[in-house]
Amino acid sequence: MIDTHCHLDASRFDPDRSDVLTRAWAAGLQGIVIPAVGPETWEPLLELPRREPRIQVGLGIHPQLLPELPPEHDAEHLERLDALLTRGGAVAVGECGLDGPSFPGAPLERQLAVLRGHMALARKHGLPVLMHCHRAHPALIAFLKEEPFPEAGVLMHSYSGGVELARFYLQKGCHFSFAGPVTWAEARKPLDALRVIPPERLVAETDSPDQAPTPHRGTRSEPGYLPHIIEGMARALGEPAEVLAERTTLNARKLFREAFPPASR
């Protein structure tokens, strides 16, 4: 299994990060993708794959962080991001995207401009995009109708939209990742969407430390909980969890250009 979205650098993991990783490998994970949320984390994240090849990183600016960053520095941050991606070491651009609740602090026009910069860098460097979209799907759909699509793809992270939205993103060529909510008792929309996604476009994630799956809901999530998410997805699809784990791992390896070392036998 590969956790395609885990904020392992979050401060909530500071007390026991090494133990979290030990539990993740013991649970059967073969890889973890850590997406950056802001410029101050880019260089520290790039050090991680050099020490542990089972950990890979994405570099980007999360839209929820934009209200904390001066807008006059956006172009400078994107230039620095370009330089770091040129040096290598990242497997994706992001986390980036659109966030409706952040519009008061970072208006839609600014979020779109920053996202456009990320998409251009993904096309330039041949990397997939880790896309965040929360309460902003109409704006993202309008954006993707005009914006050239990166050849390496776009991963809709922690997808929670409905079937019709999923059909649009599928038509554009997106991949989809699902997190803990697919295991929650009230889950409806994500499960309905899950069932229409082609097998080759599907991966899994924990979005740790958020969105812990059942039976850990309400606590800090961690990558070692990924088997619960795979099991929840497999139940919805009516197939064995082992089959889905193997397929989503293969899909993740392809999406991230074989970045993860092969599993030891």
Nearest CA-CA partner of 158 in 189, 123, 116: 189
Location of structure tokens 């039976």:
215
Q: Is 157 annotated as belonging to a binding site?
A: yes
State how far the Cα of 210 lies from the Cα of 30, in Å rounded to an integer: 21
Nearest CA-CA partner of 149 in 177, 176, 171: 171
Q: Is 82 annotated as belonging to a binding site?
A: no
Q: Is 99 annotated as belonging to a binding site?
A: no
State how far the Cα of 66 lies from the Cα of 61, in Å rounded to an integer: 7
Q: Is 5 annotated as belonging to a binding site?
A: yes
Q: Is 118 annotated as belonging to a binding site?
A: no
> Which spans in 89-225 are helix H?
108-125, 137-146, 163-172, 189-194
Q: Is 73 annotated as belonging to a binding site?
A: no
State how far the Cα of 176 lies from the Cα of 195, in Å rounded to an integer: 11
Burial class (CB in 10 A: 0-12, 13-18, 19+), 116: middle
Residue ranges of the annotated binding site are 5, 7, 95, 132, 157, 207
Residue ranges of the annotated binding site for a divalent metal cation are 5, 7, 95, 132, 157, 207
